[in-house]
Every structure is written in structure tokens, then in C-alpha cells.
Amino acid sequence: MNVAAIVMPLETSLTESNPLILDSLPDLSPSGVGCPRRARLQIDLMLLAIEALYLGGAEEMLAVSRELELESIIKNRVALWMMRNTNPLRRYSQRRSLSILEAKALVVIACNLARKLTATIRQLLLDSQQLRSKNIPFKQHLPLAEYLERFRAHFRSRMNPRRSLVAAYDSDEKLDELALSLLGKLLFCTGTAGMQRFWVSLFDGEVD
């Protein structure tokens, strides 16, 4: 007795999986349809701080995306720009949501770049504390002054001044404080399980 066997083609029996590195970040969105507003804002600000640390920061982000095999999510510079413009404070804010998968990819990139800059970030924070203790203006410290100047320029050129949260940063001093606080968050990302802890912090108050 002959038994006919039906063999399914290999390509139809397998489904495309997400990059493995994203599996280390849990799904925390309460709605299951995308990132909450606060998370979108914080992720973009972290990337803005990285751009102020890196010359050609956007290209570095794309390079890390390729290195970590995230091209299926962040296909090119335009895709990266559109994801970051889901930040509601942006001048050209996108109405579409940022998916959890996209948010994970951006967090992985931010944390990876932060780790590469660990020594620089730690030194800038240490220097800023020493300058404060001696009541010396930040502008007298060239590396710190350059970071703060680039951050202020990025923030003012990309954020919508009509937004109340943006308008609150109406002086160099306030923007400098924001830039320094973001350095602290970046350093937090470089520690043990820093990426996971930063990811979870984005959803504080959003989940039970």
C-alpha cells in the first residue's frame, strides 16, 4: 500500500522572526498597540543627546542598526526619521504611533551607543559636578561646552516651540540642565541590565 506524503515548501513552513536582541526587552505596552506618549518622548530625547555627543550621530545609529541586524525594522535614514518624529514635541511630529518593536529597536541602538561612549559620558558628568562645586561656568570647559551647545542647537531646531513642554526650556541654562540629566540617563543605560532597566522605566505608571 502506497502512502502519499505531502511535503510543504520550506519557505511557507517558517515565519520570519524578530531580531533576537529585542527578545531581552519585555512587552509592556498597556494597550498592546504602540508606545505611550511619554516613552516616545524620552526615547527621542536620549537619541538627541547621543547626536550631541557623536558627530554624524544619525549615521552612527544606522551603522549600529546594521551591526545588530535591525535593518528589517529600521530600513534607512527616512525610516529612522519617521520613528523619531512620533515624539509629540517634534516640529514635524508624525500622527502615527511608534510600535513596540520599533521602540525596542531604538532603545537597543541608544543603549549600544551609550556603552561605546561610557568613558566620555562619565567624564562629562564628573567634570560638570566639579565645575558646579567651584562655581565655574560650563563654557570654560571645552568638551562639555561643545556637547551642551550642540544639544541646545538640536533641541531648538527640531522641537516645536508652540508646545508648552518645549517652551518651558526657554533659556540656555534650562536646556543645559536637560542635557546633563540625559547624560545621567545614558550612563544608567551602560550599567548591568541597563538596557532592560531603561526600557522598563519608560513604562512607569503605564502598567500595573
Give the three-state DSSP class for 159: strand
Residue 41 has pLDDT above 70, yes or no: yes
Write down the pLDDT at residue 16.
52
> CA–CA distance from 177 to each of 87, 105, 138, 180 (Å)?
20, 27, 11, 5
Structural domain includes residue 25: no
* DSSP 8-state assignment for residue 88: T
Write down the pLDDT at residue 32.
57
Label residue 9 by pLDDT band (50, 70, 90): very low
Cell 549615521, residue located: 59
Structural domain includes residue 103: yes
- Bigger pLDDT: 110 vs 18: 110
Label residue 58 by pLDDT band (50, 70, 90): confident
Q: Do the beta carbons of residue 195 and residue 107 sit within 8 Å? A: yes
Structural domain includes residue 61: yes
Read off the pLDDT of residues 151-203 as tens digits, 9 standing for 90 and up. Answer: 999 999 999 999 999 999 999 999 999 999 999 999 999 988 999 999 999 98
Decide: pTM greater than 0.75.
yes
Structural domain includes residue 21: no
Burial class (CB in 10 A: 0-12, 13-18, 19+), 127: middle
Whole-number percent of the chain with pLDDT over 70: 88
What is d(CA 112, CA 19) in angstroms, rounded to the nearest whole number? 15
Write down the pLDDT at residue 10.
34
In this structure, what C-alpha cell is assigned to residue 72? 528589517
Of the chain, the end-to-end C-alpha distance in Å amounts to: 60
Looking at the DSSP assignment, which residues form a beta bridge with residue 90? 159
Structural domain includes residue 106: yes
Label residue 125 by pLDDT band (50, 70, 90): very high
Structural domain includes residue 164: yes
* Number of separate domains in the chain: 1
User: Across residues 32-36, what is the average pLDDT?
Assistant: 76
Q: What is the C-alpha radius of gyration for the chain, rounded to an integer number of angstroms? A: 20
Among residues 81, 90, 86, 53, the alpha carbon closest in space to that of 186 is found at 53
Structural domain includes residue 110: yes
Q: What is the DSSP string of 132-155?
A: HHTT--GGGSHHHHHHHHHHHHHH
Residue span of the structural domain in which 85 resides? 33-197
User: Across residues 138-149, what is the average pLDDT?
Assistant: 95
Structural domain includes residue 6: no
In this structure, what C-alpha cell is assigned to residue 11? 519557505
